[in-house]
Amino acid sequence: MIHLANVSKDYLTDTDSVFSALKEVSLTIKRGECISIVGPSGSGKSTLMHIIGLLDKPTKGTVSIEGKNIAHLSDDELSKLRSQFVGFVFQQFNLINKLTILENVMLPALYARKALPFEAKSRAMELLTRFGIADKAKSYPNKISGGQQQRTAIARALMNNPKLILADEPTGNLDSKTGKEIMRLLTSLNKKESLTVIIVTHDPTIASRTKKKIHIRDGRLV
C-alpha cells in the first residue's frame, strides 16, 4: 500500500547548514495495518508523517502509494491523491470555529477533486450519529468538549472514505479517560472496517494499543 525506499529529508537552516530530519528510511505499510510511529520530540516522526501523508516530498529516495511513485505526480495530481487517499486527525483538532460541527465534517467533500458517490450533508450526519455527537451538529467547536472535538475531527477524516487514517498525537490534548475512548474508536475503525491506521505518538502507552510499532530516533528507524 505504502512503500518508502531509502527516504531522506533535508532542510536548510538559518545558518545555511543542512539538517537531516530523515536518513535513509525504508518502510512498507500494508493495507489494513494498525501502526504507531514512536519517537521523542525531534526524532523525525512528524517529518515521516508528512511524507507518508503526501504533505511533503523526500529530498532523496522514493515514496510509492499503491504502486505510484509520487515523484512522477504533478502538484495537482498529488493534491488529488492526498484528498482521496488519506484522512488526517491532529492533536489540536484543527476545526474551524466559524463553522458548525456539521459544516466542519462536510469540508473534505466540498474540496474533493472528484464527484463523490454520496450526498455530503447526509454522509456527515451519518458519521456524527455513528460517533454519538449528532446532537452537536449545529454547535460550534468552542462550545463542545475536547473529546467531542476529536470525534468531530475523526468524522471529518472519514468523510471522503479514505484508505488511510493518519493521526498525529490524537490524544495529546485530552485527559486520560477521553484519550482511551479516542484510541478505542481509532482501533475499532481498523478492526471492523480494515482501515489502515497510523498513529504518531511519543507516548508508549498509546503505542501499545497498536498491532505494530515503528521506532524512530535521530531520523532513523531503530
Other CB atoms within a 10 A radius of the CB of residue 89 amount to 24
pLDDT under 70: residue ranges of the chain: 113-114
* Model pLDDT, residue 117: 76
- Summarised one tens digit per residue, pLDDT across range 158-183 is 999 999 999 999 999 999 999 999 99
Q: Domains in the chain, start-ordered, CATH in brackets?
A: 33-46+74-221 (3.40.50.300)
* Model pLDDT, residue 113: 65
Q: What is the grid cell recorded at 152? A: 468531530
Other CB atoms within a 10 A radius of the CB of residue 148 amount to 20
Dihedral sign of CA atoms 115, 116, 120, 122 in order: positive
